[in-house]
Amino acid sequence: MNDIHQPLIEPAASLRSRRDVLKLFGLGLALPAAASIITACSNAASATTAAQMADMSSASATATAGVDWQAMDRMHMDGIKAFPAKTAAYGNQPLQPHLENGVKVFELTAKVIQWEVTPGKMAEAWAYNNQVPGPEIRVTEGDKVRVVVHNQLPESTAVHWHGVMVPNNMDGVPGLTQDPITPGSTFTYEFTVKNPGSHMYHAHYNSTIQVGKGMLGAFIIEPKDRSKDPAYDHDYTLILNDQLGGFTLNGKSFPATQPLTATVGEKIRIRYMNEGQMIHPMHLHGLPQLTFAKDGWNLPQPYMNDTVNIAPGERWDVIVDCTDPGIWAFHCHILGHAESEQGMFGMVTALIVK
């Protein structure tokens, strides 16, 4: 196991130009259309024009009586060629703490921003540190952690450390464990992390709205003794959502989602986290998933599967053994969350194994 601090955003950042993709992967796959994935790493997703959409709409009305299938094919292919489409900012970026007397101190500022979900499609987000998902907090079992939360929103808020075992008065439920953090004010959470695993943090006040608008992030506690976890070469987090900006993976919709990458023979860990209101059964093509942890707790008996159903609030951790090269489609299998007559969208990405 190496390089476990390589979040999804790192390889994706490297994939934002055709040159970088060629440099990194040089896939040379003998696939009819595979090359196209790297021909349009630009804002080209907007190639799907309103006029084309209108085309498709009228086409579908007469589906069996003379559909313009060539227009449909162009639209579908254009969407895939645009993947991974560049957008202005990325969420789930590692948050660096500073140390104060042995305490790791993190700062979160909640405020209203504009968030680019796909190229050119903006949504009003309520975000931590200008990101959706909020920045990744990653600490180690036994760490003393302090999180200073600044509320720059127009309403009160609070932060719950979902899955992290904290003293009750640090649990983040206004009315039960603290007062609301009013607009303009600050609240400091402090606790020692004791249960390792894949956890989350999110707003726990007016939460249907606040979490829906983006106030959520990953809270990962590395175990002191890493030998209890299976070995892996890359560590990816996929935060699923179905509210702000529609169906998203780490705050982006296809083709702006970021691919996961690996080399043949490597193993990757994927930490699924569902911050939405619907289930999302994530299906990875070609390579089975070994499910080994639920809500941060290792299972007594890991099991194999290819479609991992994640319910709201759940986290599931899997290992994928990247035995076969290729561009493997990876998507929610509620098909309406992944594809329309205009092509793939929403909760779709790919695992690229070179």
Interface with a copy of itself in residues 43-62 (CB under 8 A): 60
What three-state secondary structure class fits 91? Answer: coil
Give the CA radius of gyration of the chain: 21
How do 186-192 and 144-151 pair as beta strands?
A: antiparallel
Which CB atom, from 100 or from 179, has the smaller least distance to a copy of itself? Answer: 179
Interface with a copy of itself by CB under 8 A: which range of 10-18, 141-149, 161-169, 246-254? 161-169
State yes or no: residue 277 binds a copy of itself (CB under 8 A).
yes
Helical (H) or strand (E) element with 11: helix 9-13
Q: Is 169 in the site for a copy of itself (CB under 8 A)?
A: yes
Contact with a copy of itself (CB under 8 A): which of 19, 154, 186, 231? 154
Q: Measured from the CB of residue 226, what is the shortest distance to a copy of itself in angstroms?
A: 19
The secondary structure of 185-250, three-state, reads CEEEEEEECCCCEEEEEEECCCHHHHHHCCCEEEEEEECCCHHHCCCCCEEEEEEEECCCCCCEEC
Q: Among 21, 72, 95, 132, which residue sits at the site for a copy of itself (rule: CB under 8 A)?
A: 72
Coil/strand/helix, residue 71: helix
Q: Of 24, 20, 10, 11, whose CA–CA distance to 41 is shortest?
A: 20
3-class secondary structure, 166: coil
Long-range contacts of 64-73 (CB under 8 A, 24+ apart): 72/341
Per-residue contact string for residues 215-254; x = within reach of a copy of itself by CB under 8 A: ----------------------------------------
Calculate the CA 259 to chain-centre distance.
Answer: 11
Which one of residues 16, 121, 144, 294 is an interface residue with a copy of itself (CB under 8 A)?
Answer: 294
Residue whose CB is less far from a copy of itself, 93 or 326: 326
Nearer to a copy of itself (CB atom), residue 93 or residue 117: 117
Residue from 143, 171, 235, 317 that binds a copy of itself (CB under 8 A)?
171
Contact between 176 and a copy of itself per CB under 8 A: yes
Structure tokens at 346: 């929403």
CB of 292 to a copy of itself, least distance (A): 11
CB of 202 to a copy of itself, least distance (A): 9
Candidate residues 55, 312, 321, 354; the one interacting with a copy of itself per rule CB under 8 A: 312
Stretch that binds a copy of itself, among 89-97, 100-108, 232-240, 285-293 (CB under 8 A): 285-293
Q: Does 303 bind a copy of itself (CB under 8 A)?
A: yes
Determine if 2 is a binding residue for a copy of itself (CB under 8 A). Answer: no
212 binds a copy of itself, rule: CB under 8 A: yes
Binders of a copy of itself in range 4-43 (CB under 8 A): 29-34, 36-37
User: Does 324 interact with a copy of itself (rule: CB under 8 A)?
Assistant: yes
Contact with a copy of itself (CB under 8 A): which of 211, 218, 320, 347? 211
Please give the Cα distance from 319 to 146 (Å, whole number).
31
By CB under 8 A, the count of residues binding a copy of itself is: 97
Q: Exposed, middle or buried by CB within 10 Å (0-12, 13-18, 19+), for 259?
A: buried
Exposed, middle or buried by CB within 10 Å (0-12, 13-18, 19+), for 190?
Answer: middle
Q: Which range in 6-14, 178-186, 223-231, 262-270 contacts a copy of itself by CB under 8 A? A: 178-186
Q: Of 12, 35, 133, 145, nearest to 81 (Cα)?
A: 35
